[in-house]
């Protein structure tokens, strides 16, 4: 990946995972399936508005899937949003709609961050997509709001700090949460905030 010295340094990326869906509630892997938010998902997504109030975003990007777009709208940023296909969720291929427990009955020990998905995206492919997205984000600079999905955001965060994709399995990320990528001491990238849910104080 191109080094940070070649990009604007004034950058913070707010990672916003979409609100709850029926499948996130049951633990079913949701990649391409375009599910709406549940009523609770809409409620929690709407609480993001207050948590983001007062922050001026130079750019707002969202996955094209409706669960991310709707979360963006409820957070009050829909009018400024641009859709980016690189922000879509991991393609789970044959494992779409299945839970980890179900998959492990056939493939014991399976972990998406290590094994990828048959007829979906491999670990290498998701890593390349995240790197491509980060290159584009660094070129934008400023403060960026990014509405996307649980597994992809974990991959993105790992690649931001130069860690391999498998390390993402150690970073839980709940629905309608906020995380922030930035720099602690430029030019060293850092995870500034992780998995702040709406039950936590905004300040």
Active-site residues, by number, are 18, 89
CA distances from 144 to 1, 13, 80, 140, 167 (A): 20, 5, 11, 8, 24
Backbone angles phi, psi at 189, to 5 degrees: -70, 150
**What is the number of other CB atoms lying within 10 angstroms of the CB of residue 63?**
24
Q: Quick one: how far is CA 80 from the chain centroid? A: 18
Could you give the CA distance from residue 52 to residue 158 in angstroms, rounded to a whole number? Answer: 24
């Amino acid at each position: 990946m191109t080094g940070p010295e070649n990009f604007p340094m004034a950058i913070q990326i707010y990672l916003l995972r979409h609100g709850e869906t029926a499948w996130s509630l049951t633990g079913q892997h949701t990649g391409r399936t375009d599910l709406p938010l549940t009523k609770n998902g809409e409620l929690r997504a709407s609480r993001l508005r207050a948590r983001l109030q007062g922050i001026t975003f130079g750019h707002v990007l969202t996955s094209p899937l409706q669960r991310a777009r709707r979360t963006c709208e409820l957070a009050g940023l829909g009018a400024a949003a641009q859709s980016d296909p690189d922000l879509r969720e991991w393609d789970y291929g044959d494992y779409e709609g299945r839970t980890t427990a179900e998959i492990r009955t056939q493939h014991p020990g399976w972990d998406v961050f290590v094994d990828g998905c048959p007829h979906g995206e491999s670990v290498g492919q998701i890593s390349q997509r995240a790197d491509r997205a980060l290159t584009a984000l660094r070129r934008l600079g400023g403060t960026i709001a990014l509405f996307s999905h649980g597994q992809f955001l974990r991959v993105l965060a790992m690649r931001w700090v130069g860690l391999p994709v498998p390390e993402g399995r150690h970073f839980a990320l709940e629905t309608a949460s906020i995380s922030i990528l930035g720099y602690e001491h430029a030019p060293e990238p850092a995870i500034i905030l992780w998995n702040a849910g709406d039950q936590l104080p905004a300040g």
